Amino acid sequence: MYAQMVDTGVKSLKHRSEMSADEQAFMARIDNESKIEPQDWMPDAYRKTLVRQISQHAHSEIIGMQPEGNWLTRAPTIKRKLQLAAKIQDECGHGQYLYSAAETLGVGRDQLLDQLHTGKAKYSSIFNYPTLNWADMGAVGWLVDGAAIVNQVVLQRTSYGPYSRAMIRICKEESFHQRQGYEILLTMMQKGTLAQKDMVQDAINRFWWPSLMMFGPNDDASTNSAQSLAWKIKRKSNDELRQMFIDQTVPQLEVLGCTAPDPDLQWNPETGHYDFGEIDWSEFFNVIKGNGPCNKQRLEKKVKAHENGTWVRDAAQAYATKQQAGAATKKEAS
């Protein structure tokens, strides 16, 4: 069902002396922090790696609307419903920015969507977990968007111009996502019943490890990191980003009065970071292979929504064709 690792043509890191003149000029631009723009020369593997990562990022934003959409009609107050509706709408917009960034690399949106719909393309593992109650809306906002923010803030400095600019715009909206999630949990912990407080801890127990998995496998198991870091597509490694997320999240956990489901989680004064337990990578690879709790449901819902939207796309296309014909007639007449 799920594709294996996408082949971007990168077998191993090239030494500068092995590079063509074009590649050396390209790397000189990367070295001095110039942004690579769509019309610039770029190695084919750089382009393929970007299409792979940006499209998976876009797919994640769109599929990520489902777990929260599941609770839109059941939000406890109109204020929570408005916040959640605004967040879901933002995620859709993030997906559009990212599909547009991917299209600057010469790939069509239909092709990207087909890869998603046929299970050839990945989206973030985290969205294959169910959202069982309202506390999950808090955990998703606080932990999932919190993890996404750590990753995306750093990605603002990615070497590809359109991706970097999409990240800058997306990051402006993400902090609201995380804050509204944290505020849901804080309200439940400070004003909720015992049962609601238990719901919060249960939601954290279920989303803690899958949120850590969002950053990808450990660096020594990351098939793309070395080249992506060399091209400054990635600016920090998976493990660096994961550690940043844990270090900033544990103090927030303590303010909630909750715990993480990790007995090995503790501050290490020597390293100045939190030590944490071993992630269950068999669960991660099982989920990205398509065997997570909600993979089938997420994809079926996405395909059905796309099919139901055919008439909207056809109408928009018919209108655009009519507009173009009208403009052409006007031009001839003038």
Question: Could you list the residues that contact ligand 3HC (CB under 6 A)?
Answer: 3, 5-6, 52-53, 56-57, 60-61, 64, 91, 94, 122, 124-125, 144-145, 148, 151, 213-217, 222-225, 228, 238, 288
154 vs 265 by CB, closer to ligand 3HC: 154
What is the smallest separation between the CB atom of 94 and ligand 3HC, expressed in angstroms?
6
What is the smallest separation between the CB atom of 164 and ligand 3HC, expressed in angstroms?
12
- What are φ and ψ of residue 71, in 5° steps? -115, 5
Cβ proximity of 128 and 193 under 8 Å: no
80 vs 236 by CB, closer to ligand 3HC: 236
* Cβ neighbourhood burial of 31 (10 Å; 0-12, 13-18, 19+): exposed
Please choose, from the candidates 91, 102, 98, the residue with its C-alpha nearest in 3D space to the C-alpha of residue 62.
Answer: 91
What is the smallest separation between the CB atom of 278 and ligand 3HC, expressed in angstroms?
17
Q: Is 73 helix (H, G, I), strand (E, B) or coil?
A: helix
Chain-centre distance of CA 10, in angstroms?
23
Q: Provide the token pair at 16.
A: 């500068």
197 vs 211 by CB, closer to ligand 3HC: 211
Q: Provide the token pair at 267.
A: 């501050």
Q: Which residues pair with 266 in a beta bridge?
A: 275
Cβ proximity of 125 and 287 under 8 Å: yes
5 vs 255 by CB, closer to ligand 3HC: 5
Cβ proximity of 185 and 142 under 8 Å: yes
91 vs 262 by CB, closer to ligand 3HC: 91
What is the smallest separation between the CB atom of 307 and ligand 3HC, expressed in angstroms?
24
* 8-state DSSP, 121: S
Render 212-259 in DSSP notation, one character per residue.
HHTT-S-GGG-SSHHHHHHTTSSSS-HHHHHHHHHHHHHHHHHHHT--
213 vs 253 by CB, closer to ligand 3HC: 213
159 vs 197 by CB, closer to ligand 3HC: 159
What is the smallest separation between the CB atom of 37 and ligand 3HC, expressed in angstroms?
20
What is the smallest separation between the CB atom of 334 and ligand 3HC, expressed in angstroms?
47
What is the smallest separation between the CB atom of 315 and ligand 3HC, expressed in angstroms?
29
181 vs 186 by CB, closer to ligand 3HC: 181
Chain-centre distance of CA 30, in angstroms?
24
- Residues in contact with 281: Cβ distance below 8 Å, sequence separation at least 6, in sequence order: 217, 218, 221
* Cβ neighbourhood burial of 91 (10 Å; 0-12, 13-18, 19+): buried
